[in-house]
Amino acid sequence: MIEAREVSKFYGAFQALKNVSFSVRDGEKVVIIGPSGSGKSTILRSINRLETIDRGTIIVDGMDVSDPKVDICKVREEIGMVFQSFNLFPHKTVLENLTLAQTVVRKRNRREAEQIALELLKKVGIAEKAAAYPAKLSGGQQQRVAIARSLAMNPKAILFDEPTSALDPEMIGEVLDVMKNLAQEGMTMVVVTHEMGFAREVADRVIFMDHGQIVEEGTPEHFFTSP
Protein backbone atom coordinates (compact mmCIF):
# COMPACT_ATOMS: atom_id res chain seq x y z
CA MET A 1 0.00 0.00 0.00
CA ILE A 2 2.78 2.43 0.95
CA GLU A 3 6.44 2.01 0.12
CA ALA A 4 9.24 4.47 0.90
CA ARG A 5 12.65 3.76 -0.62
CA GLU A 6 15.83 5.56 0.38
CA VAL A 7 14.00 8.80 1.15
CA SER A 8 16.05 11.88 1.99
CA LYS A 9 14.73 15.32 2.78
CA PHE A 10 16.53 18.58 3.47
CA TYR A 11 15.29 21.78 5.07
CA GLY A 12 17.98 24.07 3.70
CA ALA A 13 21.27 22.53 4.80
CA PHE A 14 19.61 20.47 7.54
CA GLN A 15 18.89 16.86 6.62
CA ALA A 16 15.61 15.85 8.25
CA LEU A 17 15.40 12.39 6.60
CA LYS A 18 18.36 10.17 5.79
CA ASN A 19 17.75 7.19 3.50
CA VAL A 20 14.48 6.20 5.11
CA SER A 21 12.99 2.98 3.71
CA PHE A 22 9.92 1.13 4.93
CA SER A 23 6.71 -0.35 3.62
CA VAL A 24 3.18 -0.70 4.88
CA ARG A 25 1.06 -3.58 3.66
CA ASP A 26 -2.67 -3.49 3.10
CA GLY A 27 -4.40 -3.63 6.50
CA GLU A 28 -1.20 -3.20 8.45
CA LYS A 29 -0.87 -0.89 11.47
CA VAL A 30 2.52 0.75 11.72
CA VAL A 31 3.41 2.99 14.66
CA ILE A 32 6.33 5.42 14.35
CA ILE A 33 7.98 6.45 17.58
CA GLY A 34 11.10 8.43 18.44
CA PRO A 35 12.28 11.66 20.05
CA SER A 36 10.98 15.07 19.05
CA GLY A 37 12.68 16.35 15.90
CA SER A 38 13.65 12.88 14.65
CA GLY A 39 11.70 13.24 11.38
CA LYS A 40 8.50 11.32 12.20
CA SER A 41 6.15 14.05 11.07
CA THR A 42 8.26 14.78 7.99
CA ILE A 43 8.13 11.20 6.71
CA LEU A 44 4.40 11.00 7.37
CA ARG A 45 3.76 14.30 5.59
CA SER A 46 5.89 13.15 2.68
CA ILE A 47 3.54 10.23 2.03
CA ASN A 48 0.76 12.51 0.80
CA ARG A 49 3.18 15.21 -0.31
CA LEU A 50 2.51 17.83 2.30
CA GLU A 51 6.30 17.79 2.08
CA THR A 52 8.33 17.11 -1.06
CA ILE A 53 11.31 14.81 -0.78
CA ASP A 54 14.75 15.44 -2.26
CA ARG A 55 15.89 11.88 -2.92
CA GLY A 56 14.27 8.48 -3.06
CA THR A 57 10.84 7.23 -4.01
CA ILE A 58 7.49 6.95 -2.28
CA ILE A 59 4.85 4.72 -3.86
CA VAL A 60 1.27 4.91 -2.59
CA ASP A 61 -1.17 2.34 -3.96
CA GLY A 62 0.83 2.13 -7.18
CA MET A 63 1.17 5.91 -7.58
CA ASP A 64 4.62 7.47 -7.46
CA VAL A 65 4.21 10.38 -5.06
CA SER A 66 7.78 11.52 -5.71
CA ASP A 67 6.94 12.05 -9.40
CA PRO A 68 5.97 15.72 -9.90
CA LYS A 69 3.43 14.62 -12.53
CA VAL A 70 1.42 12.35 -10.21
CA ASP A 71 -2.21 13.35 -9.54
CA ILE A 72 -1.68 14.41 -5.94
CA CYS A 73 -5.41 15.00 -5.38
CA LYS A 74 -6.01 11.34 -6.11
CA VAL A 75 -3.30 10.35 -3.64
CA ARG A 76 -4.89 12.51 -0.94
CA GLU A 77 -8.33 11.09 -1.70
CA GLU A 78 -7.02 7.62 -0.98
CA ILE A 79 -4.84 8.47 1.99
CA GLY A 80 -6.57 10.28 4.85
CA MET A 81 -4.67 12.34 7.36
CA VAL A 82 -5.44 13.27 10.95
CA PHE A 83 -3.36 16.04 12.52
CA GLN A 84 -2.44 16.98 16.06
CA SER A 85 -4.49 20.16 15.74
CA PHE A 86 -7.78 18.74 14.32
CA ASN A 87 -7.90 21.23 11.39
CA LEU A 88 -11.69 21.46 11.27
CA PHE A 89 -13.36 24.34 9.44
CA PRO A 90 -14.39 26.66 12.31
CA HIS A 91 -17.26 28.35 10.46
CA LYS A 92 -18.91 25.09 9.46
CA THR A 93 -20.93 22.82 11.67
CA VAL A 94 -19.72 19.34 12.50
CA LEU A 95 -22.08 17.93 9.88
CA GLU A 96 -20.90 20.42 7.24
CA ASN A 97 -17.29 19.57 8.05
CA LEU A 98 -18.11 15.98 7.16
CA THR A 99 -20.16 16.63 4.04
CA LEU A 100 -18.02 19.27 2.29
CA ALA A 101 -15.36 17.05 0.75
CA GLN A 102 -17.87 14.29 0.09
CA THR A 103 -19.96 16.56 -2.13
CA VAL A 104 -17.03 18.42 -3.73
CA VAL A 105 -14.53 15.62 -4.19
CA ARG A 106 -16.61 12.43 -4.13
CA LYS A 107 -19.54 14.14 -5.95
CA ARG A 108 -22.11 12.66 -3.61
CA ASN A 109 -25.41 14.50 -3.38
CA ARG A 110 -26.10 16.36 -0.16
CA ARG A 111 -28.57 13.86 1.19
CA GLU A 112 -26.30 10.91 0.70
CA ALA A 113 -23.33 12.82 2.14
CA GLU A 114 -25.35 13.76 5.23
CA GLN A 115 -26.47 10.20 5.75
CA ILE A 116 -22.90 8.94 5.58
CA ALA A 117 -21.78 11.78 7.88
CA LEU A 118 -24.39 10.91 10.51
CA GLU A 119 -23.46 7.24 10.41
CA LEU A 120 -19.82 8.12 10.94
CA LEU A 121 -20.61 10.55 13.77
CA LYS A 122 -22.53 7.75 15.43
CA LYS A 123 -19.57 5.46 14.94
CA VAL A 124 -17.21 7.89 16.72
CA GLY A 125 -19.82 8.54 19.41
CA ILE A 126 -20.82 12.16 18.74
CA ALA A 127 -23.97 12.03 16.64
CA GLU A 128 -25.59 14.52 19.02
CA LYS A 129 -23.05 17.20 18.01
CA ALA A 130 -23.92 17.23 14.30
CA ALA A 131 -25.33 20.76 14.36
CA ALA A 132 -22.67 22.25 16.66
CA TYR A 133 -19.69 24.34 15.61
CA PRO A 134 -16.24 22.89 16.37
CA ALA A 135 -15.45 25.53 19.01
CA LYS A 136 -18.30 24.16 21.13
CA LEU A 137 -16.69 20.73 21.26
CA SER A 138 -13.96 19.43 23.53
CA GLY A 139 -10.60 18.62 21.97
CA GLY A 140 -11.36 14.92 22.13
CA GLN A 141 -14.68 15.43 20.37
CA GLN A 142 -13.06 17.61 17.70
CA GLN A 143 -10.47 14.97 17.02
CA ARG A 144 -13.17 12.33 16.70
CA VAL A 145 -14.91 14.59 14.16
CA ALA A 146 -11.61 14.89 12.28
CA ILE A 147 -11.31 11.10 12.17
CA ALA A 148 -14.92 10.77 10.98
CA ARG A 149 -14.25 13.38 8.29
CA SER A 150 -11.29 11.43 7.08
CA LEU A 151 -13.37 8.21 7.02
CA ALA A 152 -16.08 9.91 4.97
CA MET A 153 -13.74 9.82 1.98
CA ASN A 154 -13.44 6.02 2.18
CA PRO A 155 -9.65 6.18 2.37
CA LYS A 156 -7.49 3.14 1.75
CA ALA A 157 -5.22 4.20 4.61
CA ILE A 158 -5.11 6.90 7.26
CA LEU A 159 -2.01 8.70 8.54
CA PHE A 160 -2.18 9.99 12.11
CA ASP A 161 0.32 12.68 13.16
CA GLU A 162 0.37 12.74 16.96
CA PRO A 163 -3.43 12.67 17.12
CA THR A 164 -3.59 12.88 20.93
CA SER A 165 -0.68 15.22 21.67
CA ALA A 166 -2.83 18.36 21.84
CA LEU A 167 -5.46 16.78 24.08
CA ASP A 168 -6.05 17.04 27.80
CA PRO A 169 -5.14 13.71 29.40
CA GLU A 170 -8.74 12.76 30.16
CA MET A 171 -9.62 12.94 26.44
CA ILE A 172 -6.81 10.84 25.08
CA GLY A 173 -8.57 7.55 25.80
CA GLU A 174 -11.70 8.35 23.80
CA VAL A 175 -9.66 9.15 20.70
CA LEU A 176 -7.44 6.10 21.08
CA ASP A 177 -10.57 3.95 21.45
CA VAL A 178 -11.87 5.20 18.10
CA MET A 179 -8.50 4.43 16.54
CA LYS A 180 -8.42 0.96 18.10
CA ASN A 181 -11.85 0.24 16.61
CA LEU A 182 -10.62 1.30 13.19
CA ALA A 183 -7.61 -0.94 13.58
CA GLN A 184 -9.88 -3.83 14.45
CA GLU A 185 -11.94 -3.20 11.34
CA GLY A 186 -8.79 -3.65 9.27
CA MET A 187 -7.96 -0.06 8.33
CA THR A 188 -4.42 0.47 7.10
CA MET A 189 -2.89 2.94 9.56
CA VAL A 190 0.40 4.74 10.04
CA VAL A 191 0.48 6.43 13.43
CA VAL A 192 3.06 8.80 14.85
CA THR A 193 2.50 8.84 18.60
CA HIS A 194 4.07 8.93 22.02
CA GLU A 195 1.34 6.62 23.36
CA MET A 196 3.33 3.47 23.99
CA GLY A 197 0.29 1.60 25.29
CA PHE A 198 -1.40 2.13 21.95
CA ALA A 199 1.72 0.99 20.10
CA ARG A 200 1.95 -2.15 22.20
CA GLU A 201 -1.71 -2.98 21.81
CA VAL A 202 -2.39 -2.08 18.18
CA ALA A 203 0.81 -2.03 16.12
CA ASP A 204 1.74 -4.87 13.82
CA ARG A 205 5.09 -3.18 13.52
CA VAL A 206 6.88 -0.37 15.35
CA ILE A 207 9.44 1.90 13.67
CA PHE A 208 11.83 3.83 15.89
CA MET A 209 13.32 6.98 14.36
CA ASP A 210 16.20 9.10 15.57
CA HIS A 211 18.02 11.96 13.82
CA GLY A 212 16.19 11.39 10.53
CA GLN A 213 16.87 7.67 10.35
CA ILE A 214 15.07 4.46 11.14
CA VAL A 215 17.26 3.02 13.85
CA GLU A 216 15.09 0.03 14.74
CA GLU A 217 12.04 -1.74 13.41
CA GLY A 218 10.15 -4.70 14.81
CA THR A 219 7.08 -6.10 16.51
CA PRO A 220 5.72 -4.47 19.68
CA GLU A 221 6.95 -7.56 21.57
CA HIS A 222 10.43 -6.82 20.30
CA PHE A 223 10.24 -3.25 21.60
CA PHE A 224 8.29 -3.60 24.79
CA THR A 225 9.23 -6.96 26.26
CA SER A 226 12.24 -6.95 28.51
CA PRO A 227 14.76 -9.70 27.74
Binding residues for ligand ADP, rule: CB under 6 A, are 11, 14, 16, 34, 36-42, 84, 161-162
CB of residue 212 to ligand ADP, shortest distance in Å:
7
For 172-216, the three-class secondary structure string (H helix, E strand, C coil) is: HHHHHHHHHHHHHCCCEEEEECCCHHHHHHHCCEEEEEECCEEEE
CB closer to ligand ADP out of 47 and 130: 47
- Cα 157 to chain centroid distance, Å, stands at 8
If one counts every other C-beta atom within 10 angstroms of the C-beta of residue 70, the result is: 16
Cβ atoms 146, 83 nearer than 8 A: yes
CB of residue 5 to ligand ADP, shortest distance in Å:
19
CB closer to ligand ADP out of 14 and 68: 14
CB of residue 7 to ligand ADP, shortest distance in Å:
12
CB of residue 196 to ligand ADP, shortest distance in Å:
15
CB of residue 166 to ligand ADP, shortest distance in Å:
8
CB closer to ligand ADP out of 161 and 195: 161
Separation of alpha carbons 186 and 134, rounded Å: 28
Question: What letter represents residue 143's amino acid?
Answer: Q
CB closer to ligand ADP out of 118 and 166: 166
CB closer to ligand ADP out of 105 and 215: 215
Question: What letter represents residue 129's amino acid?
Answer: K
Cα 56 to Cα 6, 65, 100, 112, distances in angstroms:
5, 10, 34, 41
